[in-house]
Amino acid sequence: MKMEIDTHMHTISSGHAYSSLREMAKMAAEKGLKAIGITDHAPDMPGSCHLFHFQNLRVVPKQMYGVRLLMGSEVNIRNGLGEVDLPVEILRKLDLVVASIHPPCYEGDCTLEEITRCYERVMESGVVDIIGHPDDGRFPVDYERLARKAKETGTLLELNNSSLKPGGFRLNTRENAGKLLRACMKEQTKIVLGSDAHVDCDVGTFAYAEAVLEEAGFPEELVVNTSAEQVEAFLKEKREIK
């Protein structure tokens, strides 16, 4: 599969990434991507952006080096209620919203039922486009319920390339990615591949994710970022519903 858009990456604004917005866009152009999602961490992540960063994204050009820029955020899921760390009025104005659980930002039980219900509540909010890296064994989830709710709410589930790198800090990611893909095939739920790049050379890099896709025999028609136009149409429709 050829991917035209990468929907998950971080610039120096996230505090623990190493490339500028311009460097990320330039690398995307060199790799032949049509669009990228800039999803810097929301304020609860230690060292990340202040609220003002997301309020001021309107000043950023819509294109650099011929690459369409979707300016958004990876928001932090705070608790079992599915609350996140940016207000709804800001989330509605972003081009792209990824919601993820990160250990420094999540307060709550980590049972399978609690995490599954947490993700369901996030998706029911209607202001999140993608559930980021739901593959971490530290936060167990019922993948069939996750896939059903994602399809019901029009939310994309992410296959995160960074999670699958050997030696990564998330637990049991390859096994969990397989479970996720099997559940999505069963429910006909669409997914998106995200590099989760924290440096420019990783933009548009999906080798580990693609290997898992091939192993699972996952159908191309359920992978939305094979077409930048398909992703942008999905986001436009989601915002019209909001």
Reply yes or no on domain 5-241 having CATH 3.20.20.140. Answer: yes
What are the tokens at 99?
């919601």
Type and span of the H or E element at 12: none
Selection from 50, 25, 47 nearest residue 36 by Cα: 25
Q: Which of 186, 187, 164, 165 has its CA nearest to residue 176?
A: 164
Q: Can you give the pLDDT of all 242 residues of the chain as single tens digits?
A: 899 999 999 999 999 999 999 999 999 999 999 999 999 999 999 999 999 999 999 999 999 999 999 999 999 999 999 999 999 999 999 999 999 999 999 998 999 999 999 999 999 999 999 999 999 999 999 999 999 999 999 999 999 999 999 988 999 999 999 999 999 999 999 999 999 999 999 999 999 999 999 999 999 999 999 999 999 999 988 877 65
- Distance between CA atoms of residues 14 and 40, nearest Å: 5
Place of tokens 């800090």: 169
